[in-house]
């Protein structure tokens, strides 16, 4: 039986034992499973594919001392395996073209998406730093990002995949964000927890804010249109005054319009006027 199949089966049995009512007999079965996992040759690929590390890590807080100790020991062993895979031992130099540094591995359930931190950051950073040093730094940071996403998702494959795709998109689009991650100005453990506005570029945030302001102004005009009668009554506007307006619609030439003002620029500049034509629904600002 292959190692990955063994690990999957042991993971299923372990989940059933954890969910079942406790007792000394149950703890002994859990210890037996942990011992079999310890004897299995678990690679980084198996850890990533099965997410067995997340299941075993939960047992570090088990009430039984033997179980918690065995789980902690096993998790520590697997962390060493992961670190060794991220930082492989240097081999003797061979003649011929040198191999490229390890690219961040393809995440199993992320489809065709990859966190290409190294390839995205290298062109910009290599202008000011030693190229070889930058490559090594990119590979190290890429591994840290992987670990951070794994830890944050807590073994939930869908959550893991969605976060990978989100970070792939933002890291490719946002050059300053890539540099901050590579240079350690952003702690990799915080990267999966950052809200969308912190991951987005300044241009994207500016566009989002503009859309939000436009929506807010539109809602305010809609409210004024809905309550126009009450507003006119409170203000004592009636008769011919209802037909009077400061603005003429450029589409239908009607003067039946309503307007509102909002400070969209600096405080020392004039306020922006948002106008709504009550006849044809045309909107504009001036």
Choice between 213 and 253, residue whose per-residue pLDDT is larger: 253
pTM reported for the whole predicted model: 0.34
Q: Are 125 and 135 in contact (CB under 8 A)?
A: no
Q: Is the pLDDT of residue 242 over 60?
A: no
The band of 126, judged by pLDDT with boundaries at 50, 70 and 90, is: very low
Q: Are 81 and 43 in contact (CB under 8 A)?
A: yes
Gap between the Cα atoms of 226 and 196, Å rounded:
35
Question: What pLDDT was estimated at residue 128?
Answer: 43
Give mean pLDDT, residues 3-17: 86
Architecture of domain 3-85: Up-down Bundle (1.20)
Choice between 128 and 266, residue whose per-residue pLDDT is larger: 266
3-state secondary structure 72-139: HHHHHHHHHHHHHHHCCCCCCCCCCCCCCCCCCCCCCCCCCCCCCHHHHHHHHHCCCCCHHHHHHHHH
Q: Is the pLDDT of residue 131 over 70?
A: no
Q: Are 116 and 178 in contact (CB under 8 A)?
A: no
Lowest mean pLDDT among 31-45, 51-65, 213-227, 228-242: 228-242
Q: What CATH number does the domain located at 203-285 have?
A: 2.20.25.10
Domain ranges in the chain are 3-85, 117-200, 203-285
Task: Look over the chain and give the mean of its residue pLDDT values, rounded to a whole number.
Answer: 73
Give mean pLDDT, residues 156-179: 82
* Residue 171, C-beta contacts closer than 8 angstroms, at least 6 positions apart: 115, 116, 117, 120, 177, 178, 181
Q: Is the pLDDT of residue 209 over 50?
A: yes
Give mean pLDDT, residues 47-74: 85
Helical pair 157-173 and 117-125, crossing angle rounded to 10 deg: 20
- 192: nearest Cα among 166, 156, 155: 166
Query: Strand 272-277 to strand 283-285: parallel, antiparallel, or no bridges (unpaired)?
Result: antiparallel
> pLDDT tens-digit profile of 86-118?
554 444 444 444 444 444 443 444 443 444 444
């Amino acid at each position: 039986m292959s190692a990955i199949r063994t690990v999957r089966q042991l993971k299923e049995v372990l989940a059933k034992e954890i969910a079942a009512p406790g007792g000394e007999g149950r703890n002994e079965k859990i210890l037996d499973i942990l011992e079999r996992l310890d004897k299995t040759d678990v690679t980084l690929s198996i850890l990533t594919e099965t997410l067995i590390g997340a299941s075993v890590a939960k047992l570090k807080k088990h009430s039984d001392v033997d179980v918690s100790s065995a789980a902690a020991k096993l998790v520590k062993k697997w962390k060493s395996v992961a670190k060794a895979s991220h930082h492989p031992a240097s081999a003797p130099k061979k003649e011929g073209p040198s191999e490229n540094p390890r690219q961040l591995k393809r995440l199993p359930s992320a489809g065709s998406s990859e966190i290409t931190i190294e390839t995205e950051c290298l062109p910009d950073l290599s202008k000011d730093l030693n190229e070889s040093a930058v490559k090594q730094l990119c590979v190290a940071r890429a591994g840290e990002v992987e670990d951070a996403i794994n830890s944050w998702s807590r073994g939930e494959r869908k959550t893991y995949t969605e976060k990978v795709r989100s970070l792939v998109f933002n890291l490719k689009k946002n050059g300053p964000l890539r540099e901050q991650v590579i240079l350690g100005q952003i702690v990799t453990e915080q990267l999966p927890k950052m809200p969308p506005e912190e991951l987005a570029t300044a241009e994207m945030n500016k566009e989002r804010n503009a859309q939000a302001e436009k929506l807010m102004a539109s809602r305010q005009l809609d409210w004024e249109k809905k309550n126009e009668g009450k507003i006119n009554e409170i203000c004592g506007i009636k008769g011919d005054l209802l037909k009077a307006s400061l603005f003429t619609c450029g589409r239908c030439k009607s003067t039946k319009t309503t307007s509102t003002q909002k400070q969209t620029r600096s405080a020392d500049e004039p306020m922006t006027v948002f106008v709504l034509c009550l006849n044809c629904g045309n909107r504009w600002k001036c």
